[in-house]
């Protein structure tokens, strides 16, 4: 889930900000953020992709990785097998009223037992990259101390089988399932969690780094801090502005520490993070809305990237709440992590506008973060079944902006995809034409960004399988393969067959399907 999926910061910050800020907050803040410069041409009414004449065949770069992405809690099941510890998602999903229809990830897609079937699906789809995550509590049941060898063995077998199938293991170290014991000790707002994370990273790197070279430290840091600590709709379900702000800083410290731990253990490793990103567009051409869009970009897209690459926080707030965030002296060196690639998860765009002057004067929260943001895109494009707007241009705009702003970094598209809940027809086939259209258009936009100079190495469709979609439970199907959750039978959808052809040919055909 992404930050922009929500009625974002204005309402959430608004609810808790005034109460949460300690006395003396404003005098403690520093670093006025003037407008973050002119709004780039990536914003606004650019329609480069839609206007570009689409040739009927678009070749992708040689050695391009075609993959799918999953996450441990969303597919593995086996939530308490072989010595695995409890995670915050186990605890959260077992609490009544947290997940749609009372679903849990206890069984999910049972990939812990059926991973061979899942590799067979990837082979059938001609894929050469698999982004999956390691469950931290499978490796360290309580988040500290020595490794659980059963957990290590499970991932070792998976990695070996992927390599044998000529599929790159592309490993996320943290996709939201913190060991519950660490949450009990204060969770991500607790500074100590950064050190626990780097210990865990070192264990994983030593155990698997002889075979895995490409790693992501985090999946969507702004989503799990925001949804988990401020909004409360994800584990661990807190609603505290202070916890949220502190958690973001501790995660940035953990990103720096984890990066150094991984490189120390495996100097050849390629290390990145999968950031949730969205093209942030101003609602109108007014200067105020353009500035709001820049602030939206800062909080949504680069709050965890800018510290890593530049050792500073971007200009999201009118003042950086340093004291509130407990930024200690020397921290902005510790958060640095010269990532080898930038992972981008992108589903749609964000429309940002500035609240009225009256509102900004009347409400402290509107003054501190003067932005109103849409939660699931704009209103012009078609909507997927989960309600997110389909807007391929967002991928072009965002990728070209990151390329420009960060000196043409290596980019991996670590997720993009759509929820369409099509099931089997009378003959057992899943005719998910809308999913084919989604990926086809997003891939065309990506190809256009590559043609315009972006260094993009991969595309990972979210997801290989229909799976447990966090607070939405099993109700939203994102897979290229259909899962019957009663029998756990997997069936490749039409989209999976289409994607297999694209991957085999390294070529996108933009004519009729
Ligand atoms: C992303 C998450 C992923 C999945 C997709 C639909 O934000 O990273 O786990 O939920 O959304």
Q: Which of 176, 225, 415 most suits a substitution to test ligand 1, by most atoms within 8 Å of the C-beta? A: 415
DSSP state of 231: I
Confidence band for 38, pLDDT divided at 50, 70 and 90? very low
DSSP state of 179: B
Rounded Cα distance between 323 and 296, Å, is: 22
* 5: pLDDT strictly greater than 50: no
* Cα of 177 from ligand 1 centre, angstroms: 13
The per-residue pLDDT of the chain, averaged, comes to: 90
Residue nearest to atom 3 of ligand 1 (CA): 1
* 56: pLDDT strictly greater than 90: no
| pLDDT at 510 (0 to 100) | 86
Q: How many CB atoms lie within 10 A of CB 55?
A: 13
- For 40-45, the CB contacts below 8 A with 24+ separation are 40/401, 40/404, 40/405, 42/279, 42/397, 42/398, 42/400, 42/401, 42/404, 43/279, 43/280, 43/281, 43/282, 43/290, 43/293, 43/397, 44/281, 44/282, 44/285
Rounded Cα distance between 65 and 460, Å, is: 8
Q: Tens digit of pLDDT for each residue in 408-444?
A: 999 999 999 999 999 999 999 999 999 999 999 999 9
- Burial label for 392, CB within 10 Å (0-12, 13-18, 19+), is buried
| pLDDT at 10 (0 to 100) | 35
Comparison of pLDDT for 38 and 81, the residue scoring more: 81
Confidence band for 315, pLDDT divided at 50, 70 and 90? very high
- Burial label for 318, CB within 10 Å (0-12, 13-18, 19+), is middle
The widest CA-to-CA distance across the chain, in whole angstroms, is: 68
415 part of the active site? yes
Comparison of pLDDT for 513 and 148, the residue scoring more: 148
Q: Which residues of 188-226 are buried (b: 16+ CB within 10 A; e: fewer)?
A: bbbbebbebbbbbbbbbbebbbeebbbbbbbbbbbbbbb
Confidence band for 343, pLDDT divided at 50, 70 and 90? very high
Name every protein residue with a CB atom under 6 angstroms from any ligand 1 atom: 1-2, 71, 74, 219-220, 223, 276, 345, 415, 462, 469-470, 478
3-class secondary structure, 140: coil
Asked if residue 232 lies in contact with residue 246, where contact means CB atoms within 8 angstroms, the answer is no
Q: What is the average per-residue pLDDT within 16-21?
A: 37
* 135: pLDDT strictly greater than 50: yes
DSSP state of 227: I
Nearest to 118 by CA among 166, 65, 161: 161
* Cα of 339 from ligand 1 centre, angstroms: 22
| pLDDT at 25 (0 to 100) | 28
Atom of ligand 1 nearest to the CA of 219: 8
| pLDDT at 65 (0 to 100) | 99
* 20: pLDDT strictly greater than 60: no
Q: How many CB atoms lie within 10 A of CB 364?
A: 16
Q: What is the sign, positive or negative, of the torsion defined by CA atoms of 161, 165, 169, 175? A: negative
Rounded Cα distance between 258 and 338, Å, is: 12
* 24: pLDDT strictly greater than 50: no
| pLDDT at 359 (0 to 100) | 83
**Residue of 76, 202, 220, 294 marked catalytic:** 220
Q: For residue 314, report the phi and psi dihedrals to the nearest 5 degrees.
A: -75, 170
Residue nearest to atom 7 of ligand 1 (CA): 1
Q: Tens digit of pLDDT for each residue in 109-118?
A: 999 999 999 9
Rounded Cα distance between 92 and 80, Å, is: 15
* Cα of 276 from ligand 1 centre, angstroms: 9
* Cα of 319 from ligand 1 centre, angstroms: 30
Q: Which residues of 420-446 are buried (b: 16+ CB within 10 A; e: fewer)?
A: bebeeeeeeebebeebbbbbbbbbbbb
Comparison of pLDDT for 70 and 368, the residue scoring more: 70
- Burial label for 47, CB within 10 Å (0-12, 13-18, 19+), is exposed
| pLDDT at 360 (0 to 100) | 85
| pLDDT at 49 (0 to 100) | 43
| pLDDT at 338 (0 to 100) | 98
Q: What percent of the chain has pLDDT over 70?
A: 88
| pLDDT at 512 (0 to 100) | 59
* 375: pLDDT strictly greater than 80: no
Q: What is the average per-residue pLDDT within 380-400?
A: 98
What are 177's two structure tokens?
């399932």
Confidence band for 487, pLDDT divided at 50, 70 and 90? very high
Rounded Cα distance between 458 and 454, Å, is: 12
What are 429's two structure tokens?
């086939």
Rounded Cα distance between 23 and 348, Å, is: 38
Q: What is the average per-residue pLDDT within 69-86?
A: 98
Q: Tens digit of pLDDT for each residue in 172-231?
A: 999 999 999 999 999 999 999 999 999 999 999 999 999 999 999 999 999 999 999 999
Q: Which of 99, 176, 345 most suits a substitution to test ligand 1, by most atoms within 8 Å of the C-beta? A: 345
Q: What is the average per-residue pLDDT within 401-406?
A: 98
Rounded Cα distance between 393 and 299, Å, is: 21
Confidence band for 327, pLDDT divided at 50, 70 and 90? very high
Asked if residue 472 lies in contact with residue 80, where contact means CB atoms within 8 angstroms, the answer is no
Atom of ligand 1 nearest to the CA of 417: 6
Rounded Cα distance between 254 and 261, Å, is: 10
* Cα of 2 from ligand 1 centre, angstroms: 7
* 125: pLDDT strictly greater than 70: yes
Nearest to 480 by CA among 124, 208, 199: 124
Q: Tens digit of pLDDT for each residue in 84-94?
A: 999 999 999 99
* 26: pLDDT strictly greater than 50: no
| pLDDT at 276 (0 to 100) | 98
Looking from the CA of 491 toward its CB, the CA atoms found within 13 Å total: 17
């Amino acid at each position: 889930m992404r930050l922009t999926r929500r009625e974002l910061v204005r309402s959430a910050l608004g609810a808790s900000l005034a109460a949460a800020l300690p006395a003396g907050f404003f005098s403690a803040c520093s670093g006025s953020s003037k407008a973050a410069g002119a709004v780039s041409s990536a914003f606004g009414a650019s329609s480069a992709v839609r206007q570009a004449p689409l040739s009927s065949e678009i070749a992708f770069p040689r050695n391009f990785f075609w993959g799918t992405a999953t996450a441990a809690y969303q597919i593995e099941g086996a939530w308490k097998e072989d010595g695995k510890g409890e995670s915050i998602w186990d605890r959260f999903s077992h609490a009544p009223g947290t997940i749609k229809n009372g679903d849990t990830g206890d069984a999910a897609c049972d990939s812990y037992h059926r991973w061979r079937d899942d590799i067979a699906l990837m082979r059938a789809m001609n894929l050469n990259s698999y982004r999956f995550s390691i469950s931290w509590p499978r490796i360290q049941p309580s988040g500290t101390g020595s490794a659980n060898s059963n957990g290590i063995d499970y991932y070792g077998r998976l990695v070996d089988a992927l390599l044998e199938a000529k599929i790159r293991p592309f490993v996320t170290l943290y996709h939201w399932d913190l060991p519950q014991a660490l949450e009990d000790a204060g969770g991500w707002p607790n500074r100590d969690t950064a050190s626990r994370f780097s210990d865990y990273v070192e264990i994983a790197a030593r155990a698997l780094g002889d075979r895995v070279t490409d790693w992501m430290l985090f999946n969507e840091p702004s989503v799990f801090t925001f949804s988990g600590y401020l909004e409360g709709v994800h584990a661990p379900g807190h609603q505290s502005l202070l916890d949220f702000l502190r958690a973001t800083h501790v995660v940035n410290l953990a990103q720096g520490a984890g990066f150094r731990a991984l490189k120390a253990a495996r100097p050849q490793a390629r290390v990145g993070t999968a950031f949730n990103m969205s093209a942030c567009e101003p609602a109108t051409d007014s200067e105020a809305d353009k500035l709001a869009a820049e602030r939206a970009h800062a909080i949504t897209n680069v709050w965890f990237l800018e510290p890593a690459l530049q050792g500073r926080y971007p200009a999201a707030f009118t003042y950086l709440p340093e004291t509130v965030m407990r930024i200690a002296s020397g921290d902005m060196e510790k958060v640095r992590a010269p990532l080898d690639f930038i992972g981008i998860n992108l589903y749609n765009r964000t429309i940002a506008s500035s609240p009225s002057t009256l509102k900004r004067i009347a409400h402290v929260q509107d003054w501190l973060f003067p932005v109103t943001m849409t939660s699931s895109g704009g209103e012009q494009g078609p909507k997927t079944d989960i309600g997110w707007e389909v807007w391929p241009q967002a991928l072009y705009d965002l990728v070209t902006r990151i390329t420009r702003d960060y000196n043409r970094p290596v980019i991996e598209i670590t997720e993009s995809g759509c929820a369409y809940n099509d099931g089997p027809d009378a003959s057992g086939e899943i005719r998910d034409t809308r999913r084919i259209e989604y990926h086809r258009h997003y891939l065309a936009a990506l190809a256009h960004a590559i043609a315009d100079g972006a260094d993009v190495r991969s595309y990972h469709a979210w997801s290989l399988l229909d799976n447990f979609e966090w607070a939405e439970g099993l109700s939203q199907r994102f897979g290229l393969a259909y899962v019957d959750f009663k029998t756990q039978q997997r069936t490749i959808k039409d989209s999976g067959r289409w994607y297999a052809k694209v991957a085999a040919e390294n070529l996108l055909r933009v004519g009729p399907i």
